[in-house]
A and B are shown apart, each in its own frame.
Chain A
Amino acid sequence: MVIILAVFIILALYDLPRFIRKKEPVKVFVVYVFLMAASLAVSLLLAAGKRPASPARWIEWILKMIGVVK
């Protein structure tokens, strides 16, 4: 848990000041924060032992709906 948070904070501290210094457009921040937040949320859930249904499952489910995979 702590380690995951630390890793993410280090990554954010590495990238975000650079973005601010270079005065990046807002969309860079939005995409960056979105991807990082999603990763952080999933990894925290994984670390807590509450594994959310994975994309592999979603895809399988969608394909089953269409009827391609049995």
Chain B
Amino acid sequence: MEKARISSIQLFLLIIGFLYGSTVIINPALSAKNDAWLAILLGGVGGALLIGVYASIALLNPSKTLVEILMDRFGKLIGNAVSILYIWYFIHIASLVFRNFGEFITTMTFPETPMAVVIGIFAVLLVYGINSGIEVMGRTSELFVPFIPVTALIISLSLITTRDFTAFLPMLENGMALVLNAAFSFITFPFGETIAFLMLFPHLNKKENLKKVAALSVLFIVVLCLFIFIRNISVLGSDLMYRAIFTPHLTSLLIPGLNVEPLIDINLLIGGGTKISVCIYAAAKALSQVLGISDYRKLTTAITTFCVVLSIWVYENVLEMFSWAEKVWPYYSIPFQMVIPLILLFLSLKKRAEPSKSRE
């Protein structure tokens, strides 16, 4: 195994970049319309619990990646099978983020550029980053991720005069069911996707900080999402916010006398880039471990190429992307994000209890 190390602050920023990733343009919590703030809060609590589960698994199986844990707990055959499913899942996430990114850029910024070109050029950059290793990814996030809250703040402050702070009223107009639904979607996207970090956690230099880092990053994201939600709804009103395809972009268009929408593009580049890098890294690492290949770098090009093709193949049009992300994605993700990790946690706890018993 490579001896790369990342610091707590780097992991913190990586998780933030990952969580913010495509949430900046598609926030599933927004399907709760003007009650989205509640969905964000509930989803944040659920997401924190989920990431807590992942962190516990990592702590119970120190310096092992997800694949190694799966092998240990499930045995070679099932472990391998489940690992391959996870590899597929990571590739899928990466390609979805590629697609979100491509759709956004082709809708908003370069409408006449073919999406494949946009995604392809972005992919070349990311392959370079991933091949440079986890340390470089960590340092890059240190450099870029702080831009995200700064741009959010800039855009918000520029719109401070055109706001209606009562826009989120009335509360619970469409019933609690919608809010719970949105909160659940918000847990599976983006929080549940941090399962990919189980491939990265072994590289953290101070293991004892893991839970703290995870909790802080979730808190940070919840606060940031709330902040952005309040900004969007107070500027756009609930109807337009719900109708717009990429809400933050529309909000940034409204700043008088100033075109700052490239800031949103930059946010997406940073967040989406972090997310894709982590996912492809996780997939390549997992695949190399399953096959017993010494270096994951040999596979990144092939996997990234596959992701790019998949991202174009996966949806026919932009509306399919949204409806799929809303309707199918949460259920499809449940086994990967909740069922298997919970089984793993259970087995790991049992395993820890057993030897101590036998020693007595």
- Direct A–B contact in the complex, CB atoms closer than 8 angstroms: yes
Pairwise interchain contact B328-A60, C-beta atoms closer than 8 A: yes
Report A57 CB to chain B, min CB distance, Å: 9
A36 CA / B305 CA spacing, docked (Å): 7
Pairwise interchain contact B331-A63, C-beta atoms closer than 8 A: yes
Complex interface residues of chain B between 267 and 301 (CB less than 8 A to chain A):
287, 291-293, 298-299, 301
Pairwise interchain contact A51-B328, C-beta atoms closer than 8 A: no
Q: Is the interface of B mostly helix, strand, loop or mixed?
A: helix
Which residues in B have their C-beta under 8 angstroms from that of A24? 298
Report B110 CB to chain A, min CB distance, Å: 18
Pairwise interchain contact B328-A63, C-beta atoms closer than 8 A: yes
Size bracket of the A interface? 20 to 34
Pairwise interchain contact B331-A42, C-beta atoms closer than 8 A: no
Per-residue contact bits, chain A 5-37, to B (CB 8 Å; 1 contact, 0 not): 001100100110001000011011001100110
| A59 interface hit (Cβ, 8 Å) | yes
Per-residue contact bits, chain B 293-336, to A (CB 8 Å; 1 contact, 0 not): 10000110111011011101111100010001001100110000
Whether A59 contacts B332 in the complex (CB less than 8 A), given A28-B298, A35-B303, A54-B315, comes out as yes
A to B CB contacts below 8 Å, 14 in the list: A15-B298, A31-B299, A32-B299, A35-B303, A35-B306, A39-B309, A43-B312, A46-B309, A46-B312, A51-B316, A52-B313, A54-B313, A55-B92, A59-B332
Query: A residues near B, CB below 8 A?
Result: 7-8, 11, 14-15, 19, 24-25, 27-28, 31-32, 35-36, 38-39, 42-43, 46, 51-52, 54-56, 59-60, 63, 68-69
